[in-house]
Amino acid sequence: MRFDRWTVTVAVASCLVGSSRTAFAQTVPSTARDSAHELDAADPRYPATIPYTSFERYAVPEECASAAIWYTERSRYTVDTDTLYLGRTGRPLLQSTIEQVRSCLSRFTVESVPQRELLGLGAAYLAANQDSLAAAAFARLDQLLASAPMLDRAWARYQMVSRYLSAVLPRVEAADRVLQSLDQLGPSAAVARLHGHLAMAQLAQCRDSVTLWDRETRAALALVRQMPHDVTRDYISQAFESYVLRTRWFARQNAPDSAAAVIADAKRLLVPLQPIMMGKVQLLSTWIAMQGKPAAPVKATRWYNVTSSADTIHPASGRVSVVMFGAPHCYRCRPGYAVLRRLRAAYGASLDLVMAAQTVGYFGERLVSPDSESRLIAHYFLDQLTLPVHLAVWNTPMGRRDDDHVTVLAAPNRDAYPMPPSEDWVAVVVDRDGFVRLATEVTASNEVLLDDVIRETIAAPRDSSRRLAATVSKGDSALTMTWARQVITAGAAIDSILAAHADDPALSLPVKTTVAQRLVYVLSITPDFKATLKRLGLTPDRFTEGYRRLHAAWYAKRLDEFLRQQGRTLLEMQQSGDVEHVSPEDRKFMDEHDEELTTLGIGKLMS
Amino acid sequence: MPSGFLSSDDCRALIRKLATFAHGGGTVSVTLKSAMRNTTSWARSTIHENLQSRITHYQLWRAMPELGMGTVDGTRLDDAGLREVMRNAEMQIRLSYRTASEPTDDAVIPPAPMLHPVIWSDATYAVSPDAIVQIAQEMVTPAAAAGLWSAGTFSVTGRGESVQTIDVDAMTPPELHYVPQTEVECSVTVRDKQGTASGWAGVNHYALDKINPHDIAARALDKCRRSANPSTIEPGRYTVILEPQATHDLVWQLMTSREALWRPPAESGQGPFASSRRGRSKIGERVLDERLTLSSDPLDPDGGFIPISMAWGGIPYRAVTWIERGYLRQLAYDKQYALGALNRDHALLNPMSYRLAAAPGVATQTIDEMIATTARGIVVTRFSDVQVVDGNSMLCEGFTRDGLWLVEHGKVTKSLRNFRFMESPIFVLNNVQGVGVSQRVFEPGYGCVAPAIRAIDFNFVGLADAV
């Protein structure tokens, strides 16, 4: 008997197909939101029946189910293109569709189909809610394989687990029974067992069933550690996925240190087997890098959908926030937008939803100015998609490399919230004390997890002692705040010096920028300030870097003013090189006035 | 105005009719290609096919405000067919994610001006099918008279390609870009009846008076005669004198590879022009011999081509120098890359038509001069079955074909059995010892101009039995 390995991925998709609460479900109680999540037949926008073409043309039983599911998804998708999300309790097929599947299946019986069709027949019976017939199909397959090699039997049982879990409404208990029988085949069936436990762990993650998730990831990792290295190398993707799921479980449990330990273990075991895994391990690290650390304020050139200037400090102290990074061109983000709407409906005013976006220089198919792009981004998110979020748009200052490629000069939100590249659909949950609780993708398969974490975070009281404990344990959180205040003070002083010279025609923008940077440097090496830095446990380099980031905002603001004064666009400035390069005249000026300006700056700052 | 395929008025009317089937505002953009081709083919010195074919193909790009875009191909010109194409495109939009759109106060950057190359010849299009048969017969006769077998094809094609965008609400008739083109393809292989000798010659051009079919037939016949009784020599690294077609067969891999003259993959570390510096291409670095320049220009008198890209929604091609005196100057990119990575509005597309030539001021050599100055080398007529086996180095494998000769002490001494080779055009074009005058080569549908090249250390890895 031959099985195709592609079915490994079936279980991964299972949580996109639906879920149901069982004895294995997470103990977090169901809430009223469940009804809001049920988007199936109760939604009047969806048709009561789906106009199928004839099922007669389907020659094998599995097609009866897969066609029905495909038609159903397409029908739903036509109505609501933003999301294919199926809710916490799943979205079963319409009764009329189930009848179609049963009619299609009536041409087949467990006894009459060949062995190769039994798995598909079982899957189709599950789609038709005929579980006993599905069990009979799988039992017959097991029976036919009784004398087959053990590896074939093991793989067949994993396939059964996969079919149970990838059903429209996953049958977790039945899958677990088969998985137990698979485990009884012993160490030589380790590969099939690993696949089975991974499938179960993935479903547990989708349902946020922490007990099951814990059990299955432990089992999967135990198998990975027992397997000979040659076998691990052959199944390194599955081995790594085991570590990923275990890491995410610790992150879910708010234990970033334990998650880091799992990642270190993955690095120790997997990277020697396949060096390319290093990149994946590092990527995994970025997911937990923020967790447990103070969340940086979101920077914006302009805020939209805020009530006042005071409403532009997010994440706001004392409130639970979800910070999401979006972009109009991010197709993968879009199912997540529906998640945001549901979160708003569920939590109302007790949750802040903050969308951080940044300009990229174009919108759709056109180059646009930063201000236009900012407005277009706001129009898209707030008017077209009607997302219930505070929107922060950062006008990204751009430079150009010698080969004409544009470069981002400052991206404070990306710097403050380091995340895997291009992972625009990441959401960061921030607790009331301003600490990152969880960073995760906003996808349909993560919504239950995200929902549960947010609910727990909202329910948790503020804990000032926790903040103090974090400060003591980390050693620098409080110092960081002090340092930030010092930097801001110094920055304001430097800005005031520059403002005093704002009307000086000899001081062009590049000169001002360069002078400001020099003042920062000089300031950082003066004896008094060095002592301050030492007291704060900071190095001059770190201070300079901190100011550079703060200064980026100043630079962007001044650049904007300068462009308005000049009546020129950023593109023109970049093309002419005015943004990046200091002209010979400016250079000469700086050389002549360097000492004077520096002395002036130090004197004012020291006073 | 051409007849036999769609004229500009026909195209305008067709696109307008297609737009009337649109619902829901937005724009309808259509690229339309229509052609009529008369072909005469022969084998074993007997004409076996005289064919006249007409092709019309169009691609619809339907954009609806705040919804998205759908793209559908079509060939049916009747109302029902046009309506179905429009319906499919609009269905695609409804099934896609919404896109953001809103009028902005930013000035619209006008598209690059359309170039108008000379690629149409009334006299060529006027050649009748009977005349084509006559020319073909005249090409067959010398080989038949010599007791050899001739096989080949001679065709004349007239085509018109057009692009237009219509605002569905206004139904304004904006400018229709319509470019007509004629193309003559001529390719002849002459073989002996024992199957031991073969010669080939061929070229395509926009006008019949640009090529000489009788000369092409004579060259193929001559090569066949001279390639009889081939000798066998050991495979290995040899100095080669590549005739223009052989040069083209290698350079074509460079032009058509999605990893070579394409900037996004180069900046992500793929292809021969990826720099060792992360996120960078080799633009500005020397990549070929400094005597060579590689360019594409729709107005090239020998390598002109239709200046709009049908595959990219009618985006105009413009003149570009890819490699100048061996230094990489440009790599192609699409509009999405242009917007995001360069903050520019216009794509720079690779038309695949090209001119590889000696840089201005570089002395050229004839093939005879190259032979006369070669102590030991091999003259290659052309390559066949060339495939890229490693995209990063552009390492290719393939076979020599239809004429291979050994050069010893400045003279062609004997014909050789064919070789299998394993070589990269990048390596070859860095091992150049001499460059000839560039001339039009055979690549139907494209305008390719390549020189003869003498290069050292060409890697022949095995003998090939095929003739």
User: Is pLDDT at A541 greater than 70 in this prediction?
Assistant: no
Residue A332: per-residue pLDDT: 73
Task: Between A104 and B399, name the one with better pLDDT.
Answer: B399
Per CB-CB distance under 8 Å, the chain B contacts of A406 are 341-343
Instruction: Spell out the residues 6+ positions from residue B205 whose beta carbon is closer than 8 angstroms to its own.
Output: B183, B184, B211, B302, B440
Residue A191: per-residue pLDDT: 96
Give the residue-averaged pLDDT of A265-292. 90
pLDDT > 90 fraction of chain A, expressed in percent and rounded: 36
Per CB-CB distance under 8 Å, the chain B contacts of A360 are 340
Question: Which residue in A78, A384, A574 is closest to B66 by CB distance?
Answer: A384
Contact of B283 with chain A, judged by CB distance below 8 Å, is answered with yes
Q: Do A362 and B102 touch (CB under 8 A)?
A: no
Which pTM was predicted?
0.73
Give tens-digit pLDDT for A425-475: 788 999 988 889 999 888 777 888 888 999 999 998 776 545 444 433 333
How far apart (Å, rounded) are the C-alpha atoms in residues A320 and A419?
Answer: 20
User: Is pLDDT at A186 greater than 50 in this prediction?
Assistant: yes
Residue B285: per-residue pLDDT: 95
Name the band, by pLDDT with cuts 50, 70 and 90, for residue A24: very low
The two three-digit tokens of residue A203, written as one number: 């479903």
> Which of B102, B105, B335 has the highest number of chain A CBs within 10 A, making it the mutation to test binding with A?
B102
Contact of B101 with chain A, judged by CB distance below 8 Å, is answered with yes
Contact of A366 with chain B, judged by CB distance below 8 Å, is answered with yes
How far apart (Å, rounded) are the C-alpha atoms in residues A429 and A452?
Answer: 11
Query: Closest Cα of chain A to B95: distance in Å?
Result: 6
Name the band, by pLDDT with cuts 50, 70 and 90, for residue A73: confident
Beta bridge partners of B189: B151, B200
- Tally Cβ neighbours within 10 Å of residue A347: 18
Q: How far is CA B159 from CA A184, B37, B320, in A?
A: 71, 8, 25
- Are B284 and A403 within 8 A, CB to CB? yes
Contact of A386 with chain B, judged by CB distance below 8 Å, is answered with no
- Are A136 and A109 within 8 A, CB to CB? no
**Quick one: three-class SS letters along A159-187?**
HHHHHHHCCCCCCHHHHHHHHHHHHCCCH
Phi, psi of B73 (to 5 degrees): -95, 150
Q: Do B343 and A367 touch (CB under 8 A)?
A: yes
Name the band, by pLDDT with cuts 50, 70 and 90, for residue A5: very low
Query: Closest Cα of chain B to A414: distance in Å?
Result: 17
Per CB-CB distance under 8 Å, the chain B contacts of A375 are 102, 104
Contact of B278 with chain A, judged by CB distance below 8 Å, is answered with no
**Looking at chain B, which residue has its C-alpha nearest residue A407?**
B341
Q: What single-letter DSSP state applies at residue A117? A: G
Q: How many residue contacts between A and B have a Cβ separation below 8 Å?
A: 79
**Looking at chain B, which residue has its C-alpha nearest residue A337?**
B97
Residue A607: per-residue pLDDT: 28
Residue A490: per-residue pLDDT: 54
**Looking at chain A, which residue has its C-alpha nearest residue B281?**
A403
Note the Cα B36 to chain centre separation in Å: 19
Taking only residues 560 to 579 of chain A, the set having a beta carbon closer than 8 angstroms to any beta carbon of chain B reads 571, 574
Question: Which residue in A74, A328, A369 is closest to B106 by CB distance?
Answer: A369
Residue B463: per-residue pLDDT: 96
Element spanning B459, H or E: strand B453-463
Residue B145: per-residue pLDDT: 96
Lowest mean pLDDT among A71-75, A379-383, A422-426, B408-412: A422-426
Residue B91: per-residue pLDDT: 81
How far apart (Å, rounded) are the C-alpha atoms in residues B413 and B415?
Answer: 7
Give tens-digit pLDDT for B313-348: 778 898 999 999 999 999 999 988 999 999 888 899
> Which of B99, B106, B165, B331 has the highest number of chain A CBs within 10 A, making it the mutation to test binding with A?
B106
Give the residue-averaged pLDDT of A237-257. 94
User: Is pLDDT at A7 greater than 50 in this prediction?
Assistant: no
User: Is pLDDT at B174 greater than 60 in this prediction?
Assistant: yes
Q: Do B100 and A571 touch (CB under 8 A)?
A: no
Give tens-digit pLDDT for B212-247: 999 999 999 999 999 999 999 999 999 999 999 999
Name the band, by pLDDT with cuts 50, 70 and 90, for residue A12: very low
Average pLDDT, chain B: 92
Query: Closest Cα of chain B to A81: distance in Å?
Result: 6
Task: Between A160 and A402, name the one with better pLDDT.
Answer: A160
Query: Closest Cα of chain A to B387: distance in Å?
Result: 28
Residue A553: per-residue pLDDT: 45
Per CB-CB distance under 8 Å, the chain A contacts of B101 are 364
Residue A39: per-residue pLDDT: 43
Average pLDDT, chain A: 75
Q: Do A376 and B341 touch (CB under 8 A)?
A: no
Lowest mean pLDDT among A199-213, A492-506, B172-186, B435-449: A492-506
Question: Which residue in B100, B104, B335 is closest to A384 by CB distance?
Answer: B100
Residue B171: per-residue pLDDT: 76
Question: Which residue in A81, A366, A375 is closest to B97 by CB distance?
Answer: A81
Can you state the angle between helices A236-252 and A256-270, rounded to 10 degrees?
Answer: 170
Query: Closest Cα of chain A to B255: distance in Å?
Result: 21
Beta bridge partners of B452: none
Residue A461, classified by CB atoms within 10 Å of its CB into exposed (0-12), middle (13-18) or buried (19+), is exposed
Per CB-CB distance under 8 Å, the chain B contacts of A401 are 280
> Which of A304, A367, A396 has the highest number of chain B CBs within 10 A, making it the mutation to test binding with B?
A367
Taking only residues 303 to 362 of chain B, the set having a beta carbon closer than 8 angstroms to any beta carbon of chain A reads 335, 339-345
Task: Between B421 and B24, name the one with better pLDDT.
Answer: B421
Beta bridge partners of B161: B33, B179
Contact of B281 with chain A, judged by CB distance below 8 Å, is answered with yes
Query: Closest Cα of chain A to B330: distance in Å?
Result: 10
Question: Which residue in A334, A364, A403 is closest to B283 by CB distance?
Answer: A403
Name the band, by pLDDT with cuts 50, 70 and 90, for residue B75: very high
Residue A496: per-residue pLDDT: 58
Residue carrying the six token digits 């009317």 = B13
Question: Which residue in A78, A403, A406 is closest to B284 by CB distance?
Answer: A403
Question: Which residue in B279, B280, B335 is closest to A365 by CB distance?
Answer: B335
Task: Between A585 and A195, name the one with better pLDDT.
Answer: A195
Q: Do A405 and B341 touch (CB under 8 A)?
A: yes
Percent helix, strand and coil across chain B, each rounded to 5? 20, 40, 40
User: Is pLDDT at A264 greater than 70 in this prediction?
Assistant: yes
Give tens-digit pLDDT for B397-455: 999 999 999 999 999 999 999 999 999 999 999 999 999 999 999 999 999 999 999 99
Query: Closest Cα of chain A to B353: distance in Å?
Result: 25
**Looking at chain B, which residue has its C-alpha nearest residue A328?**
B100
Contact of A334 with chain B, judged by CB distance below 8 Å, is answered with yes
Lowest mean pLDDT among A87-96, B78-87, B324-333, B457-466: A87-96
Query: Closest Cα of chain A to B348: distance in Å?
Result: 14
Residue B453: per-residue pLDDT: 98
User: Is pLDDT at A4 greater than 50 in this prediction?
Assistant: no
Query: Closest Cα of chain A to B304: distance in Å?
Result: 28
Name the band, by pLDDT with cuts 50, 70 and 90, for residue A422: low
Q: How far is CA A190 from CA A179, A198, A242, in A?
A: 12, 12, 13
Question: Which residue in A376, A385, A406 is closest to B343 by CB distance?
Answer: A406
**Looking at chain A, which residue has its C-alpha nearest residue B66?**
A384
User: Is pLDDT at A556 greater than 60 in this prediction?
Assistant: no
